[in-house]
Structure 1
Amino acid sequence: MPITGKILEVAQAHPERLAIVGADSRITYGELAEDGRRVRAVVEHLQDAVRRGNARLRSGALPGNAESPSAQPPVGAAMAAEPSEHPAASFDSSAQPVVAVSSTDAFHTARIIAGLAGFDCVAATIDPRWPLEHQVRVVLGTGISVLVSDSDALRDALARAGWAGAQVSLEEFCRLERELPPAEAPSVRPGDEPFLMLFSSGTTSNPKAFLKTRAQYRANFAVSSAHLEPLPGVATLAPGPLSYSLTLYALVECLASGGSCHVADSFEALAASRRIFDEGVTRIVAVPAVIESLALVARRSPARFTGVQLLVAGGANLSARIRSAVAESLPHARLVSYYGAAEIGFIGDSRGGDGTAITLYDGIAAQVRGPLGEVLADGEIGELWIRADACSDCYLPATTDEQLRDGEGWATVHDQARLRGRQLELLGRAGDIVVTGGHKVSLPEVERAFELLPGADAVCAVSAPDASLGSVIALVLEGADAPDKAAVLAFARERLAPQFVPRRVYRVGELPRTVGGKVRRAATAELVAHGEAVRL
């Protein structure tokens, strides 16, 4: 992890510089270095309690356990997978404890994660909005032994499942920090040591867990620092839960560069604009919806955004509507839309035009493969594979049996794409490419044509069965004021090739989304199939 050395360096040279700033709390680099010792002291205290509990459990001395002692594995046993060529697959959390934070408090989550960076443990952030059963499965399956969470429902569910770890509320964690003597000073750790346990986005399935070593994160920071400008002393606003890989990495790159990361428990555009002005924020890292909201506020209150120099949007193919809003409201600010995957790291970005052409970063190798694994020629549509130093080794087997990398180190998250030299065009996931009337059609390409459709808040293109063509394109509009079918088709025919024009048009009050705000295509298709969308 690159942040510990920089935290110690800045704490010595500029102890008063802000490191992490919340809406109501802040901590400097000088304070953060000492804060990590208190975080570690609490973790050691709780880990000792876990070990004592496991010792009693193995001896049968733990009261109130309905199951036989031998049926309850010690913490970390769930991770003792069969031997693998990848260290992550056989990671033993009894040797290196896993500490998870599941909280909506962005400031305390951020400082705990930062504090753990200088010690031999793995840190994780769990989204408290995940379904309860999935939270339980993740905690049990990935070897988490210390959990910071205020959820009584999660506590009860883990107890029923026989979890032998320690859960404390955030309030209790902070109390223990005040009462316990600080631990030893943090230090820069070896590169092959795992530091973070992350999770896939969950757009198409339940989130999958994987580990990042410190060397992999250092490689990731080397790419982002060369292109996304997390500079020393720069104030970056990164609103959103730390359980999002985008927000978590914004924190990492700020601390790795000696910058200041401004976090937020929730996002409200007007309140954020006041913080931007008051705190001298010059760089914003956020999901597209947040960028769009800030652009709308900037139109009404431009003075609050005069210091903003760079907007970094996670997620490629930033819509034309958002690009237009930023260009109009923040003409002095540069907009970069990057493409990456938490498992792989930063891959490339787009900075102009319609945003569909992504330039691969130096050091990133890419190829597009066909259904038999063959490498396709430039311009052909297939599955995107990436080779990068920042890529994780594998998914943890407790959360999926899916493979991340092949034997030569190439990895895929199953994005579909076209590749022309070093220019990449993303076309969605495997289910986003459909065949209709003998033509291969990208559903995200269809959607992009409707980004500026008047009256539609959002759109989703899906495949619908058809007796003569096998399948046809159906467009689902969100919003009560969506235009009628004739207007939609006229709009489409001006912008799309005939085979891309939707054959059917539907309207819903609200499109189904993930907790991160991404439209769920499969769930939208189910609304159409079950007659829950109004056909226009």
Structure 2
Amino acid sequence: MPFIDQLRHWARTQPHRAAVVVGTQRLSFAGLLDAAAAWPAPQPSAGAALAVIDEPDGTALAARFVGAVARDGVAAVLDPSWPQELKAAVTDRAVAWAATEAAPPASEPGFRDGPPGSTFLLGLSSGTSGVPKAFTRSRASWQASFAASAAYFGVTAADVTLAPGPMAASMNLYALGEALFTGSTFVALPQFSADAALHAVTHDAATRLVLVPTVLALLARRGLDTGQGAGAVTSIVCAGSALPAGVEELARQWAPRARIFQYYGASELGFVAASGNDGDDGTPCAGRAFPGTEVSVRGTGGLPAGPGECGSICVRGPYVGNGYAWGDDGLAFNVLPGGGASGGGASDGPWYTVHDQGFLDGSGRLHVVGRASDMIVTGGANVYPQQVEGDLEAVAGPGTVVVAGVPDAVRGQRVVAGLFPGGGPPGVAPLTAGQLLAACRRRAAALPAPQRPTRYYALTDLPLTGAGKLSRTLLQAWIGGGDARAQRIH
């Protein structure tokens, strides 16, 4: 694992500093090293040595994760909220996959970083139904990522990083590894709530937050409403989906001393683009190519698109994963021929894409339009729900609108909007469902006809994955199944 040698270094030089804190549980760097070494080494049957980790969020999860991959093993961390049937199905798939994988080359026994090219992580998507897809990661890809992200985000041994989402989520496992790599402290929650996160901010003296936009909005709004400040937080790293301007403004009100970074990436691709450390002019976008990454937008036939022309976002660089262990439908992770980047590149290696759609502007900044899988095709027109949400939330407030496509016999799909009355600016009574409906319909009248929602639903909850990301698939399921959490109001 790319942080094991670093962990051993920190265990020698700062043995008593807190390495992992989860609620009242705490392990120092020396204690984490001892706890990880106490876990039995993963035992290969015929192929890769696999450790399926099913632990609640806590220091034991961190210790087992570290212990598994420190002995040339492959870790698969299950979401503790999954039902037992799903956990069993994922475990069976993982065991079958591991049996087909070659064991890494023999190396010196002991508790240390393994061969750079070998797989250490069997990552699992945060889907809402069915067996999640599984991607694989090499040790080298994370080792390169740690060095780059620590430099870009300014992470030092003095930092305390709070990642309030589930530890099993790939961005939070990465934050754990990044903290161990840099000798800083990683903080997680045994169970999420906005108040628990705000308590950890002050109680554990967090200096950094790593979280998705929906969770940032919850923390900032709750903090402003209750007078719970951001304490020592000077850095906020937001990822998982685009950071809406309204949520960024909330965060700046709540944490005025914090520098706000956002990055765009994918579990399969690693870091792609980022903003917050490049002197940008504030124009909403994903940012510039992350250091070490080349970005190209490819249009019809895989040819480079010009500035402002939309196409598939493609990347190459040291952070890209190895692909899927299972669940690849042939579209989710593709390799395209090499050639120079649209912005000018000297390398000629292959390009990788998960078919997110976007464009590069004249300054080389990446604008992400949306995932190809989220695109709504209605009456022959392509509609990206993120764009419609942004337009409607300009009048409805941040965190109030979720847009999706549902089957329609005439159009193919129709655009629908879920309205969540619990959102909106802090210190102001949330708009009722009726008020949200009126505001959104007025705004929608100014949109191109294909982008206008034809049905609206009042939501009692936001449709979120276990990692806190908005799930249009879940909203579609609520609507299709007549779930009480989505009641039609127009």
Asked if these proteins are the same fold (TM beyond 0.5), I'd say: yes
1:228 matched residue in structure 2:
153
1:23 pairs with 2:23: yes
> In structure 2, do the counterparts of structure 1 residues 330 and 511 end up closer, same or farther at CA, with 3 Å as the change threshold?
closer
8 A contact 1:240–1:265 mirrored in 2: no
1:345 matched residue in structure 2:
270
8 A contact 1:236–1:254 mirrored in 2: yes
Gaps of 5+ in 2: 100-108, 338-349, 423-431
1:366 pairs with 2:295: yes
1:375 pairs with 2:304: yes
Moved more, 225-234 or 239-248: 225-234
8 A contact 1:285–1:311 mirrored in 2: yes
Of 424, 439, 449, the match for 2:391: 449
Moved more, 248-257 or 107-116: 107-116
Q: Distance in 1 between matches of 2:238 and 2:159?
A: 17
Of 105, 111, 123, the match for 2:57: 105
1:14 matched residue in structure 2:
14
Give CA-to-partner distance per residue, 1:146-205, whole Å, 9 cap, x none: 9xxxxxxxxxxxxxxxx9xxxxxxxxxxxxxxxxxxxx7522322112212212333697
1:5-404 map, 5 Å: 5-39=5-39, 42-43=40-41, 47=43, 75-76=45-46, 92-93=47-48, 97-143=49-95, 185-202=110-127, 206-300=131-225, 304-351=229-276, 353=282, 355-370=284-299, 372-397=301-326, 399-400=327-328, 402=330, 404=333
Residue 497 of structure 1: how far off its partner (Å): 4.8
> In structure 2, do the counterparts of structure 1 residues 493 and 280 end up closer, same or farther at CA, with 3 Å as the change threshold?
same
8 A contact 1:124–1:196 mirrored in 2: yes
Residue 511 of structure 1: how far off its partner (Å): 5.0
TM-score, structure 2 normalization: 0.82
1:448-487 map, 5 Å: 448-454=390-396, 458-463=400-405, 472-479=414-421, 481-483=432-434, 485-487=437-439
Aligned partner letter, 1:217: W
> In structure 2, do the counterparts of structure 1 residues 529 and 295 end up closer, same or farther at CA, with 3 Å as the change threshold?
closer
Please identify the structure whose Cα radius of gyration is greater: 1
> In structure 2, do the counterparts of structure 1 residues 100 and 339 end up closer, same or farther at CA, with 3 Å as the change threshold?
same
1:413 matched residue in structure 2:
354
Residue 116 of structure 1: how far off its partner (Å): 3.1
The number of residue pairs the alignment matches comes to 450
Classify the secondary structure of the residue corresponding to 2:24: coil
Aligned partner letter, 1:534: R
Q: CA RMSD in A?
A: 3.1
> In structure 2, do the counterparts of structure 1 residues 34 and 530 end up closer, same or farther at CA, with 3 Å as the change threshold?
closer
TM-score, structure 1 normalization: 0.75
> In structure 2, do the counterparts of structure 1 residues 254 and 455 end up closer, same or farther at CA, with 3 Å as the change threshold?
closer
Residue 418 of structure 1: how far off its partner (Å): 2.1
8 A contact 2:212–2:469 mirrored in 1: no
Determine what percentage of the aligned residue pairs are the same residue. 31
8 A contact 1:100–1:124 mirrored in 2: yes
Q: Distance in 2 between matches of 1:339 and 1:260?
A: 24
2:466 matched residue in structure 1:
515
1:177 matched residue in structure 2:
none
Give CA-to-partner distance per residue, 1:288-325, whole Å, 9 cap, x none: 23222221343256575231101111224212231121
Q: Distance in 2 between matches of 1:331 and 1:102?
A: 38
Classify the secondary structure of the residue corresponding to 1:20: strand
8 A contact 2:27–2:59 mirrored in 1: no
